[in-house]
Structure 1
Amino acid sequence: MFSNKLQALRKEKHLTQQEMANILNIAKTTYSSYEQGKRMPDAATQNKIADFFEVTLDYLHGRNNTPKWANKKDSNDLKRFLEDNDGTFTYGGDDLTEDEKQKLKIAMTQIFWDRHKHD
């Protein structure tokens, strides 16, 4: 999740991996390994990344997938979307566990934001 968010944020700003490495004062190979999911930056570097992109650490780690462009109406639309699709979900005739329901909510939230992007 972190690697995907990092890559997407970098591309949004039209930066190369080398430019990001320079901003973070690290080697390009180190930065590249972050985007490939081979390494995780230390806490100080994660904070630098979050500050640079003006996002939270929760956003970088996929705990809060609300895009920074989202406004209050967008958030209300998401809430309505989740409520409208909050049926009783089953798999093989068995109700989903609370953990499975939470994972499904995360997936539905990501789909909502992907389709709800502002042009």
Structure 2
Amino acid sequence: MTPFDRLKTLADKQGLSVNDVERRIGLGRNTLYSWKKKIPSGNNLIKVADFFHVSTDFLLGRSTDSTADLDDDNVIFTYQGKPLSKEDKALIKRLMNGKD
């Protein structure tokens, strides 16, 4: 399975097209389709991994565990691929535990 195949599978599971993913993470049209024939660049690979909350190793096929190298806070507490502040994380944890 190529990085593009993994990306496409992740997008399909969320009801997104590859072009939708490109728009949401600020990449040019057909940038991700180039993954069909070449290994993705580091920056774009990281953007896609962050967007889908998976590891870069998973996208590259080096791991079958999509979250192998991510810590729990970064998996749970991101918005549009960017980590939340410590204060926002603490507030969300309190809300999830019914303490606010």
TM-score by length of 1: 0.49
Larger radius of gyration: 1
For structure 1, which runs of at least 5 residues remain unmatched after alignment? 69-119
Assess if the C-alpha contact under 8 Å between 1:17 and 1:28 holds in 2: no
Assess if the C-alpha contact under 8 Å between 1:24 and 1:49 holds in 2: yes
Q: Distance in 2 between matches of 1:41 and 1:67?
A: 17
TM-score by length of 2: 0.57
1:24 aligns with 2:59: no
Q: Distance in 1 between matches of 2:28 and 2:40?
A: 12
**Structure whose residues are more often helix by fraction:** 1
Q: Distance in 1 between matches of 2:60 and 2:41?
A: 13
Structure 1 residue aligned with 2:56: 57
Assess if the C-alpha contact under 8 Å between 1:24 and 1:48 holds in 2: yes
Assess if the C-alpha contact under 8 Å between 1:50 and 1:60 holds in 2: yes
Q: Once the 2 structures are TM-superposed, how far is the Cα of residue 56 of structure 1 from its aligned partner?
A: 0.6
Q: Distance in 1 between matches of 2:53 and 2:47?
A: 10
Assess if the C-alpha contact under 8 Å between 2:55 and 2:66 holds in 1: no
Q: Distance in 2 between matches of 1:24 and 1:39?
A: 20
User: Structure 2: which amino acid aligns with 1:4?
Assistant: D
Alignment length (residue pairs): 66
Structure 1 residue aligned with 2:12: 11
1:48 aligns with 2:47: yes
Q: Once the 2 structures are TM-superposed, how far is the Cα of residue 60 of structure 1 from its aligned partner?
A: 0.8
Instruction: Tell me which stretches of 4 or more aligned residues in structure 1 moved more than 4 Å.
Output: none
Q: Identical aligned pairs, as a percentage?
A: 26
RMSD between superposed Cα atoms in Å: 1.7
User: Structure 1: which amino acid aligns with 2:28?
Assistant: A
User: Structure 1: which amino acid aligns with 2:47?
Assistant: K
Secondary structure, counterpart of 1:14 in structure 2:
coil
Q: Once the 2 structures are TM-superposed, how far is the Cα of residue 9 of structure 1 from its aligned partner?
A: 0.7
